[in-house]
Structure 1
Amino acid sequence: MNWIDKLERKYGRYGIPNLTMYMVICYVLGYLLMYINPGMLSMLSLEPAMILKGQIWRLVTWVIYPPQTGNFLLFAISIFFFYYPIGSSLERTWGTFRYNLYIFSGLLFVLVASFLTYFITGRMYLVGGVFTTYYVSMSVFLAYAACYPNMQILLWFVIPIKMKWMGWVYGAIILYNIITYVRVGAWVMTVPIIASFLNFILFFFPALSGSRYNPKEVKRRREFQKAMAQSRVNPSTGSAAKHKCAICGRTELDDPNLEFRFCSKCNGNYEYCQDHLFTHQHVK
């Protein structure tokens, strides 16, 4: 069992369902403040120097900064037609707790990095406007591309393209930005980028997380679920079975008198017929 499994078993009940929706609401509030009262928005930014002077609300309120999209139309498209769907899909794939852990760990890394940067530079204006949730949101995009590499979307609602290619292109852009910032001496700009993607490294490098939710495993799981769904269809009648034994493969369509039960000692949703409920080997 890896450390993510242990955390989920102990704190899984504290997961926040539909976290992406709450983040979208924060972005909308931030976008409105950007145009209605920019001064108030600046009072909510992540500024370690001001936090150390007592403005502790900044530890939380900085998350309302919306992604910089230039205008409302691009903002609406990126949030409601792109970020929210992929975030919700990723939550359904991983489960509520793991998705929460991915988001909050990204925010925590950015928060810690902002304080480290301030302690190193001692310059307040180099930090407050740099550390936002933008790259944390983009790490969700990369996670989705890693889990669903062959998912095809319409770029600009016209060009069909697979997620894996978009992920590689975005990764190349990020690498180019980091190199550019370093070359011009603006290394501080690279800190939030690197900090925001530490959660991606933790989740998708098995040597660090031991996570079962790597892209290949997600693909195998989808294929297995698809095969299981097809196997439950009776070829003669075309009707689908509601129950299937994980050992013998029989369903209620094979014998209406069969009884099926889930095993509470198996890790996962394994269902067995009456003949194998007490004789099977528990899945651990």
Structure 2
Amino acid sequence: MGFINSLEPRMRWLAFPGFFRGIAIIHFTLLIGLTIRPEVATNLIFDWEKIQAGEVWRLVSFLFLIFPSYVPLLGTVGAIVFAIFGLRIAFLVNDSLENAWGVFRTSLFFFAIIIGQLFANCVLGATGLPYQIAGGAYLELAAFFAFATLFPKHTFLLMLIIPVHVWILAAISGFLLLANSLSNPFLGFFVLFAFGPYLWWAFPLVIRNGRNQRKISKRRVEFQSKTKGGQATSFHKCKVCGATENTHPDLEFRVADNDEEICTDCLDK
């Protein structure tokens, strides 16, 4: 994130508060329209030949398409209700990402996803392959994956009844996406670039978190052995201010790269 931090002071104009909220509202509006007039999608989908003929709006409009494939199952009213729930989740994702990353990083993340989708579709179109993809669903899925990575324990009520952690929903979606990509090389090519920015960020984070968990587990074993031996000690202790879970029970602690623990108060300074 050091490189991104260096960009922010010079490129603040790229920060758009509520950027994904705006995209989600467009998705919602178009989805409702497509449940009534699905033929309109033919004027918005990415079509390389028509783009070369002058219909340049297709370079952007494909990003706003989400085909309502569930309409036959739910009916028009059910599809609208489903879309409203989706809009609320999109708002939650937008606000959570902006709180975690800041407006600039969040906007940059979505710009990178959009550029990846546009590049993949242009390559597929330029090579003569009649397989260009509507990007709206993949844009929202990338945002959902980022949210699930940052807040894996957040709970959704499936069918308004069953509580499910968001990481489980993301894992199922990721498995289905991977399976479809492996069975369709064109889709796989698109997914590689569309989700490239997310993977570039998420893989190092997952590896780092795994290392931290192993360090914490090791410290827990040492702590338990000292406790059994009659040595009174704290499990967590901040290297900077000396706070422990006993003196400051409301604090959280993180393991730094040098294997030392630091509390969230000192981490934010």
- Structure 1 residue 79, shift from structure 2 partner: 2.6
Q: How many residues are matched?
A: 215
- What's the counterpart of residue 132 of structure 1? 135
Does 2:178 match 1:180? no
Q: The residue matched to 1:176 in structure 2 has which SS?
A: helix
User: Residues of 2 paired with 1:67 and 1:194: CA distance?
Assistant: 21
- What's the counterpart of residue 30 of structure 1? 30
Does 2:83 match 1:79? no
Q: What do the CA deviations read for 1:245-271 (whole angstroms, capped 9, x no partner)? A: x89xxxxxxxxxxxxxxxxxxxx964x
Unaligned runs of 5+ in 1: 182-186, 232-245, 248-267, 271-284
- What's the counterpart of residue 61 of structure 2? 61
Does 2:176 match 1:199? no
Identical positions, percent: 20
Q: What do the CA deviations read for 1:3-59 (whole angstroms, capped 9, x no partner)? A: 222222321343111112211221123224324444443212222221122111112
- Residues 89 and 229 from structure 1, CA distance in 2 versus in 1: closer, same or farther, beyond 3 angstroms? farther
- What's the counterpart of residue 168 of structure 2? 165
User: Residues of 1 paired with 2:112 and 2:18: CA distance?
Assistant: 17
- What's the counterpart of residue 4 of structure 1? 4
User: Residues of 2 paired with 1:215 and 1:144: CA distance?
Assistant: 16
Unaligned runs of 5+ in 2: 72-78, 214-237, 239-244, 252-264
Q: The residue matched to 1:154 in structure 2 has which SS?
A: strand
- Aligned pairs for 1:102-251 (under 5 A) are 102-120=109-127, 122-124=128-130, 126-127=131-132, 130-181=133-184, 187-206=185-204, 230=250
- Residues 38 and 170 from structure 1, CA distance in 2 versus in 1: closer, same or farther, beyond 3 angstroms? closer
Q: What do the CA deviations read for 1:190-239 (whole angstroms, capped 9, x no partner)? A: 33322221121122234xxxx8xx7689x9xxxx9xx88947xxxxxxxx
Q: The residue matched to 2:6 in structure 1 has which SS?
A: helix
User: Residues of 2 paired with 1:13 and 1:69: CA distance?
Assistant: 37
Conserved 8 A contact 2:31-2:68? no
Conserved 8 A contact 1:46-1:132? no
- Residues 167 and 64 from structure 1, CA distance in 2 versus in 1: closer, same or farther, beyond 3 angstroms? closer
RMSD: 3.1
User: Residues of 1 paired with 2:199 and 2:67: CA distance?
Assistant: 22
User: Residues of 1 paired with 2:96 and 2:203: CA distance?
Assistant: 21
- Residues 194 and 55 from structure 1, CA distance in 2 versus in 1: closer, same or farther, beyond 3 angstroms? same
User: Residues of 2 paired with 1:54 and 1:145: CA distance?
Assistant: 40
Q: The residue matched to 1:54 in structure 2 has which SS?
A: coil
- What's the counterpart of residue 250 of structure 1? none
Amino acid corresponding to residue 87 of structure 1 in structure 2 = N
User: Residues of 2 paired with 1:155 and 1:35: CA distance?
Assistant: 24
- What's the counterpart of residue 282 of structure 1? none
User: Residues of 2 paired with 1:27 and 1:197: CA distance?
Assistant: 19
Q: TM-score, normalised by structure 1?
A: 0.65
Does 2:104 match 1:101? no
Q: TM-score, normalised by structure 2?
A: 0.68
- Residues 229 and 87 from structure 1, CA distance in 2 versus in 1: closer, same or farther, beyond 3 angstroms? farther
**Bigger shift: residues 69-78 or 154-163:** 69-78
Amino acid corresponding to residue 169 of structure 2 in structure 1 = M
- What's the counterpart of residue 263 of structure 1? none
